[in-house]
Structure 1
C-alpha cells in the first residue's frame, strides 16, 4: 500500500504484510525471529542518517523501551520497541552505513531481529497506519 499526496503521486511506501506502531516502527512477525525497523515516514522525517546506536544481542526488552538511537544531521531520535522479547540479531551493515535505512527502510535497512515474548502484539495494520499518516499530513 502506498500513501498518496494531493497531486496523486506516490509519497510513502507502507507494505501491507507488515504491522506498525504509532511511533513509526514496523515489525514483520511472520518471520522468526521477527524483523523490526523504522518506517519510510520516520526515515524521511529524520533526514540523512549518520549514526545508529544498536543494542547488544541477548538483551531482553519490554514494549515501550527505547532500544536504538538514530542520529541524523537534523536530530537524535530514539526507536521505541513496540514489542517485548529478546534481541537475537542486530543489523551491523546498517550500523556501518546508516544511510541504508533512508534508502531501503523495509529491506536492507532493518534494524534488529527479536524472539517475541508476546505472539499477539497490539500493532496497526498497513491500512490503519496509512490513515494515521494522512492525519499527520
Structure 2
C-alpha cells in the first residue's frame, strides 16, 4: 500500500502539493504514481519562470513501462525545478515526497489549495 502523507494536498492525476513557509508550493508525483510507472528513467520539467494554468501539462515522466504527463495542479509561476532529477531521475521512485520533488510554483491564488484532495480523499480515490 502506498504511503500518503497527511500534510500534503493531492490531485487525481497523482501529483502532490506542499505549501512551504515562504508561500511557494512544491509539487511532485505520489508514491502511488511512481509504483504504477515502475523505474523512472527520465523526467522533463517546466522551465523556471514559466507561467502555468491549473491542469496544464508541466512536464513528462518516463519509466521502463510508460511515459506520463505531469500537470500543474494549480495556476502560478514556476520558481524552481529540481535539477537533481536530470541526472538522477530514480529519485522520483526512491524519495517521491522528499528529494524526488519536481518543481516549486508561486500560486496565482493560494486559496486554490483548499479545493484539492486531502490525504484521506486521495486514499479513497486510489482505493488505498
Number of equivalenced pairs: 125
Q: 2:49 aligns to what? A: 58
Say which of 96, 114, 130 aligns to 2:123: 130
TM-score by length of 1: 0.88
Q: CA deviation at 1:44?
A: 0.6
* Counterparts of residues 80-119 of structure 1 (less than 5 Å): 80-119=71-110
Unaligned runs of 5+ in 1: 1-10
Residues 1:42 and 2:33 are matched in the alignment: yes
Q: Deviations over 1:36-74 (max 9, x none)?
A: 000000011111010111111000000010101001111
SS of match in other structure, 1:56: coil
Unaligned runs of 5+ in 2: none
TM-score by length of 2: 0.94
Larger Rg: 1
Residues 1:29 and 2:19 are matched in the alignment: yes
